[in-house]
Amino acid sequence: MPLRTQQAYATYLRQFLAHDVDITCPVCHKKAVVKTGGYRQGSPLETQVKAVCPSCGFAKRYEDVPPTPLYATANGIKYGRITTLGGPIDPFFQLPLWYQDDFEGETLWAYNLEHLHFLQQHLAAGLRERHKVANANASLGSRLPKWMLAKRNREALLKKMDAMEKR
């Protein structure tokens, strides 16, 4: 992916981190959550991010994830916490997302219901009429992977997403 496209895709994904991220608990494999507290990258609030499981009590704080070296400056090495965007894992702890499924060798995934609903709306709008999508959503949606936007996949993907939503 060209760098500019990558950055646009990251911006598109980051907006869904304003909501909590649903994950599979690494201990009991039930539904757990990463509380993002309206996450903003680099904000002091980022340390308040935490993963919690209501079923077994698993809990992990982002604060406890050790910062890693990001880049060198004249005054030394700059440390920070890296978020991993763009895969079926949460960006903070790299735990598996609750909403994910295989689709023809690709992985369909969403951070939370807000993200899943966005994908559903975008694909459903594409099925009805290509130009009826509101501009803002259209530009966000155009950053989705090609296989997700392929017309021939849309109906099957929407079925998968309906099933996913009911997990």
Residues that bind Zn ion (CB under 5 A): 25, 27-28, 53, 55-56, 58
Query: What CA–CA distance (Å, rounded) separates 141 from 120?
Result: 11
Least Cβ distance, residue 53 to Zn ion (angstroms): 3
Query: What CA–CA distance (Å, rounded) separates 157 from 110?
Result: 13
Least Cβ distance, residue 61 to Zn ion (angstroms): 16
Residue whose CB is less far from Zn ion, 64 or 104: 64
Least Cβ distance, residue 98 to Zn ion (angstroms): 12
Run of H or E residues at 116 = helix 113-128
Residue recorded with tokens 């004249």: 74
Residue whose CB is less far from Zn ion, 34 or 53: 53
Least Cβ distance, residue 95 to Zn ion (angstroms): 11
Least Cβ distance, residue 31 to Zn ion (angstroms): 9
SS3 35: strand
Query: What CA–CA distance (Å, rounded) separates 161 from 167?
Result: 10
- Asked whether 88 and 109 are in contact (CB, 8 A), the reply is yes
Query: What CA–CA distance (Å, rounded) separates 149 from 152?
Result: 9
